[in-house]
Amino acid sequence: MLDTIQTSSRGAVVPGWTGVVRHLHVTPRAFLPMREMPEIKLIEGTGIEGDRYMIGREQGFYSHKPEEGRQVTLFEFETLVALKRDASIELGPEEHRRNVTVEGVPLTHLVGRRFWLGETLLEATRLSIPCRHIEEITGKAIFDPLINRSGLNCKILKGGIVRTGDAVWNFQ
């Protein structure tokens, strides 16, 4: 929920917000369907237990291009709503292939910032980029509609258990 507007010390406009975890997904290997989980275990500096991008596992489609910020990825629930509303594309939370679907969290504002995801602390490293790989897997033409809203890559500063329904909020 975007409830207030604040100005950060860096001069950028940063919305004040609190959000919620709507869905959690992992998959152990590239190409395999994401499986919905009631909770996931985030391991500091490493990734999500059992997920393909956990450091040391390297079973993801992009694992040959190592990246610290791929430890956990987030996606906006609002984008799923927008895809249906604006492009008549039904995309389920298990199809976008990010790990955490959140609602009320302005992901595009968070690059370089820290925020709480339940009891875990994340640092956003960059916006995710849509890829043809998702189109190949889903069979849906979602590359263009996902430009600039394809999620957020993060590294895990403090691990813990994340459950659906957990709150998401700014670190500061």
Partner 1 sequence: MAVPITTVTTIVEAIEGAGPDVKLFSLVDPDRWELPRFRAGAHIDLHLPGGMVRTYSLCNDPADNKCYRVAVKREPAGRGGSAKLHDQVRVGDVIGVSLPRGGLVLDAAISRFIFVAGGIGITPFLSAAALLLRTGRPDFILHLLARGEPPLPRLVAPFVQSGHVILHDTATAGRPDLAALIGLPAPKTAIGCCGPAGMIDDFERASRDWPGERVHVERLIEQVAIIQ
Q: Which is nearest to 20 in space by CA: 129, 115, 126?
A: 115
Distance (Å, whole) CA 83 – CA 169? 25
Binding site for partner 1 (CB under 8 A): 27-33, 35, 58-61, 63-64, 66, 136-137
Smallest gap from residue 134 Cβ to partner 1 (A): 12
From the list 26, 143, 36, the residue with the least C-alpha distance to 92 is 36
Question: Which residue, 24 or 107, is less far from partner 1 as judged by CB?
Answer: 24
Residue 94 CB, nearest approach to partner 1 (Å): 10
CB of 97 to partner 1, least distance (A): 12
CB of 33 to partner 1, least distance (A): 5
For residue 83, give the 3-state DSSP assignment.
helix
Handedness of CA 59, 103, 119, 69 (dihedral sign): positive
Closer to partner 1 by CB, 60 or 69: give it. 60
Return the number of the residue (29 or 85) whose C-beta is nearest partner 1. 29
Q: How far is the CB of 138 from partner 1 (least distance, A)?
A: 9
In this complex, which beta carbon is closest to partner 1, that of residue 11 or of residue 56? 56
139: Cβ–Cβ under 8 A, 6 or more apart, which residues?
Answer: none
Q: How far apart are CA 60 and CA 170, in angstroms?
A: 29
Decide: 113 and 168 in contact? Cβ < 8 Å. no
Which is nearer to partner 1, 61 or 169 (by Cβ)?
A: 61
